[in-house]
Amino acid sequence: MSILKKLSCINALNQLWDYLPQARLVGGVVRDLLANKPIADIDIATPEPPETVMAILQKTGITVIPTGLAHGTVTALIDHTPYEITTLRKDIVTDGRHAQVVWTDDWQEDAARRDFTINAMFCDRDGKVWDFYQGQQDLLSGTVRFVGNAKERIEEDVLRSLRFFRFYARYGKEPIDIEAVTAIQQTTDLLKTLSAERVWSEMQRILIGPMADGIVQQMDQYGVLEEVLSFGYQLPFFQKMVQLGAPKDAVLRLAGLVSAPSQIVAKKLRLSRKQEKLLWAFQEGSDVALANTEIQKRQLRAEYDLEVLIGQSWIKQTASVIEDSEQWNQWRHSVSLIERPIFPVMGQDLIQLGVQPGPIIGNTLKIIKDWWLKNGCYASQEECLKWFKGHKNERIN
């Protein structure tokens, strides 16, 4: 049976093949079809120049977007699904981050510029796999191997050092390819030339990928981790957290891995503002503890997002002498069942009671909220304001 039968989008592909009969599937889609893994994206290679591809498809009524003409890539939209179509290329100049390319009609030349043998295969509309570098054999044996000379491939784009570990986690088996890791060790100094965004993009995938604890240890063993996390890391803590079953949340796992303050990590890795706030919250900690009473859990739930509390619980569990997963899972379950209490008083409520606008409003709200929290976050707006009226003669400043 043709491997193409596994694709749910075969009708759309046949439509493209009717107009671009020389085109072939390439890269991850071919690899994952052969490996019986879920298909994420469909990438297509073709010998026609991108302008020709656009002209041919536009004549048929297919929407085509020039997503990367300089790199030979256009995107066809069929039934709201994107299909990236890239002209066969060969590199003429590389600098470790970017490449200058020219078009070619030679399929092997295009395959030669790709990173790993398992990513360098093509498949035509008849289901024939074109494999110039023994990618199928490597896929079967669990060998993640660079195409051609490993050191040269890394020097063309040093991000491939990180990608190696990501793909090894998903497709590799022991023993690890010695030529690959030797080349990675020899080129670790090039990692500092990568943009923070590219490093974090790959690290996120590694942290939430298969065997993250072992893969990150290998990255440390071969000198990669100290380059990309030069601000400091705590490998044993991270490994313990993953082994305890911490969820596949990239920021939570990053919090378990790094030893530097969140502000430094966020700046070095160019985290988003949301990611930085989460990392800070995970690192900051709270009164999360197995001994929390129901009232204390309600207080925590009122003060923190559930995502933050769950993350903090994994950090606390990892750091705790008591690692009992059943007790911690019960704690997380009980907290998740608590609907977040919302403090019911606003500044306008106090103004209506005669409190003058200004800093005193914030101070007063804090005092009322402290009382509300202390009493389990049950008091209604009316009860909070009644309590305030009974205590407003106390000094509030």
**DSSP annotation string for 160-199:** HHHHHHHHHHHH--SSP-HHHHHHHHHTGGGGGGS-HHHH
- Residue 148: its pLDDT value, please? 96
Domain-terminating residue out of 96, 112, 133: 133
**214 exposure class (CB count in 10 Å sphere: 0-12, 13-18, 19+):** middle
Q: Is 274 left (phi over 0), alpha (psi -120 to 50) or beta?
A: alpha
The answer as to whether 379 is a domain residue is yes
Same domain, 299 and 328: yes
Is residue 52 assigned to a domain?
yes
Please tell me whether residues 151 and 90 are part of one structural domain: no
The verdict on 120 and 6 lying in the same domain is yes
pLDDT (mean) for 353-375: 93
What is the domain-level CATH number for residue 68? Answer: 3.30.460.10
Of the three residues 223, 239, 272, the one that is the final residue of a domain is 272
Residue 278, in any domain of the structure: no
Same domain, 12 and 108: yes
pLDDT tens for 133-191 read 999 999 999 999 999 999 999 999 999 999 999 999 999 999 999 999 999 999 999 99
pLDDT digits (tens, 9 = 90+) for 315-332: 999 998 766 889 999 999
In this prediction, residues 221-243 reach a mean pLDDT of 97
What pLDDT sits at residue 2?
81
Q: Residue 352 above 70 pLDDT?
A: yes
φ/ψ region of 299 (left if φ > 0, alpha if ψ in -120 to 50, else beta) reads: alpha
Q: Are residues 215 and 306 in the same domain?
A: no
Residue with tokens 């709200």: 365
State residue 393's pLDDT score: 64
Tokens representing residue 358 in the block = 């200004």
In this structure, the answer to whether residues 1 and 75 fall within a common structural domain is yes
Domain membership of residue 180 as a residue range = 142-272
What's the pLDDT score for residue 397?
A: 47
184 lies in the same domain as 83: no
Q: Degrees (nearest 5) of the Cα angle 290, 291, 293?
A: 115
Residue 9 lies in a domain: yes
For residue 66, tell me if it sits in a domain.
yes
Choose the final residue of a domain: 133, 155, 176: 133
**pLDDT at 390 > cutoff 90:** no
Contact call for residues 64 and 58 (beta carbons, < 8 A)? yes
> Is 280 a member of any domain?
no
Phi, then psi, of 75 in degrees rounded to 5: -120, 120
Q: What is the spatial order of strands in the sheet that 73-78 belongs to?
A: 63-68, 73-78, 81-87, 43-46, 24-26, 122-123, 129-130
- How far apart CA 200 and CA 197 sit, in angstroms, is 5
Higher pLDDT, 395 or 278: 278
Q: Tell me which of 3-12, 113-122, 126-135 is least confident.
A: 3-12
Can the peptide bond before residue 175 be classed as cis, meaning omega within 30 degrees of 0?
yes
Number of domains comprising the chain: 4
42-97: pLDDT as tens digits: 999 999 999 999 999 999 999 999 998 888 999 999 999 999 999 999 877 666 55
Cα–Cα distances in Å, from 291 out to 82, 326, 380, 384? 51, 14, 27, 28
158 & 262 share domain: yes
298 lies in the same domain as 316: yes
pTM of the predicted structure, to 2 decimals: 0.90
The predicted pLDDT at position 160 comes to 97
Q: 220 and 158, same structural domain?
A: yes
Do 253 and 238 contact (CB within 8 A), yes or no? yes
221 domain residue, yes or no: yes
For residue 348, how far is the Cα from the chain centroid? Answer: 42
Domain identity same for 127 and 146: no
Asked if 43 and 141 touch (Cβ cutoff 8 Å), the reply is: no
Looking at residue 190, which CATH number applies to its domain? 1.10.3090.10
User: Identity (one letter) of the amino acid at 38?
Assistant: P
Does 154 reside within a domain? yes
User: What is the pLDDT confidence band of residue 98, given thresholds at 50, 70 and 90?
Assistant: low
Residues 264 and 165 in one domain: yes
User: Considering Cα of 365, then 369, then 370, then 375, what sign does the dihedral take?
Assistant: positive
